[in-house]
Chains A and B, each alone.
Chain A
Amino acid sequence: MEFTAKDWKDFFKEIVSLIEEEKDYLCQLDRKLGDGDHGVTMSIGWQAINEKIDNELANEEDPAKISITVGKTFLSAVGSSVGPLYATGFMRGAKVLKNKSVAGDQDLAEYWIAFGKGIKERGQAEVGDKTMMDTLEPFFKELERKFAETNDFLSSFKAAVLEAKKGMEFTKELMSKKGRSSRLGDRSIGAQDPGATSAYLILAAFLSFVEKRMAKAI
């Protein structure tokens, strides 16, 4: 599989529309746990990215530069706690893409592993804390394991997204231990974590983007 600068931009554009579609749903999840603005925050960030892609990045051919800009733009636009978290993910991923105009299977696997690990390092959350880490950690662990075994990106990523989904759904059973919602204690049980959900949406969007691209290629 070969992934170019144009693919990255197209993929990021897909997240822009996806976040607009899911904005209300994410806010609705967040109202049970926090101040109800996760969808709004994500939308502010991705709208800013959309504008960058259309203007500054319109002729950009360097995938690393694109991913760094996506991270920095998101951070500048939203601040909050998701700002530094997602920004760190996209910027760590960008390091993998440095000096590569086309990403192959190995690069893509490394990109998403670095994405997940970067967010973990920034947020210092553990699995079970009811945060986006509940989606991301099972995801990058499975991706790392499966890719080492098979060297096939698509099947490994697919398996990893499945783990991500389970992790996201499991946040319903968990009590919040990080961030503002942690003070809800028992009352947080039963609600799915909005950060875990938006992280899953991004990963699932990448999977469907890659699958669509493969189908076109055939």
Chain B
Amino acid sequence: MKKLINDPRNVVEEMLEGYVKAHPNSIKQLPGTGRALITARETREGKVGILIGGGSGHEPGFIGYVGDGMADGVAVGNIFASPSPDPILEVTKAIDKGAGVVYLYGNYAGDVMNFGMAAEMADLEEGIQVGMALASDDVASAPKSEKQKRRGIAGEFFIYKAAGAAADFGYDLDNVVRVAKKANENTRSMGVGLSPCSLPQTGEPSFEIGEDEMEIGLGHHGEPGIEKGPLQSADRVADRLVNDILADIEINKGDKVAVLVNGLGSTPKMELYIVFRRVEQILSERGIEIYRSYVGDYITSLEMGGCSVTLMKLDDELMKTIDHPVDCPMFVQK
């Protein structure tokens, strides 16, 4: 696969260098590991710090979501790999304004260990209180009976949005964690993969799939999904994704939801809107109200082809968080 890079070993560092130079008024890089970025703007004393993080290759996730209304800092891992505790701790120290820091990340073995180790160190060595909320929105990654095993995918975006707003509202650490966990509880995603991505360092496709095939439930790192079959129409795929989500979470007539149709990297917006069209039809047939919609590349997998659909069921508090304005380099909501 062709890639516009220099040396595959330097892709993360060079991306971060470009990113920080492109947005000097929004983002600054901390001096230690180089993998710790924080907002360049002044944050209020007493505000709970929001720390996000994960592997690289998911841009705009996660570096793109540091800014007003979302995260105060991000710890950046290698491609598709959790950051080590070092940059997590570096960000924690920099963004703590005396009210503690909340870590938001996806439910993956590596992230759980590294963020967990960092949280212990923050508490023991720095005396900083850390709260955590994990994203586990992917319906396809484990059955409902083993919900604690589910991975976080595009729904992480809603969790950042909710927690970032809650911290801005002046909520304390426990309440920011509560809102983040509620956002996760109310969020479900399901994806489809059409074509693989390749890691810059290996150049090999992340999974194998035929020209005329699709894979339902494919993971954000190319982990095989739950079902491989012939490519179907956008409407049939959207039916499958939404029906699986609605079978997993009770969303009734009159309920309000936020919808995210997320591109995985190389799927054109045209196709994402075609999918959204069908999602809207299904929801309105059921009398479910779309309160706010997001369509685009929010959390990607390099140049993977395909998309995911995410629904977050809203109550009054989550509605307030979803309405909260955001100003990040890769995402603005007025």
Contacts and interface: CB of A to CB of B under 8 A. Distances in A.
Interface residues of B, number: 35
B204 interface: yes
Contact of B83 (A27, A36, A79): A79
A85 interface: yes
A34 B201 CA distance: 15
Contact of A34 (B33, B142, B202, B223): B223
Give the most central of B78, B82, B151: most A CB within 10 Å.
Answer: B78
B206 A75 contact: no
B204 A31 contact: yes
A34 B83 contact: no
Contacts, number: 101
Given A34-B221, A180-B223, A81 B110 contact: yes
Interface string A10-45: 000000000000000001000100111101110010
Contacts of B255: none
Interface string B103-119: 00000111001100100
B78 A76 contact: no
Interface string B16-53: 00000000000000000100000000000000000000
Given A36-B206, A44-B78, A184 B199 contact: no
Contact of B82 (A35, A77, A79): A79
Give the most central of A40, A79, A82, A184: most B CB within 10 Å.
Answer: A79
A41 B82 CA distance: 11
Given A180-B223, A183-B141, A183-B223, A36 B202 contact: yes
A77 B141 CA distance: 28
Contact of B109 (A27, A35, A40, A81): A81
Contacts of A184: 223-224
Contacts of A122: 113
Interface in B84-114: 84-86, 108-110, 113-114
A172 interface: no
A189 interface: no
Interface of A: 27, 31, 34-37, 39-41, 44, 75-85, 122-123, 178-184, 187
Q: Which 9 A-B pairs have the closest CB atoms?
A: A81-B110, A80-B81, A79-B84, A84-B113, A35-B221, A81-B109, A179-B109, A79-B82, A80-B110
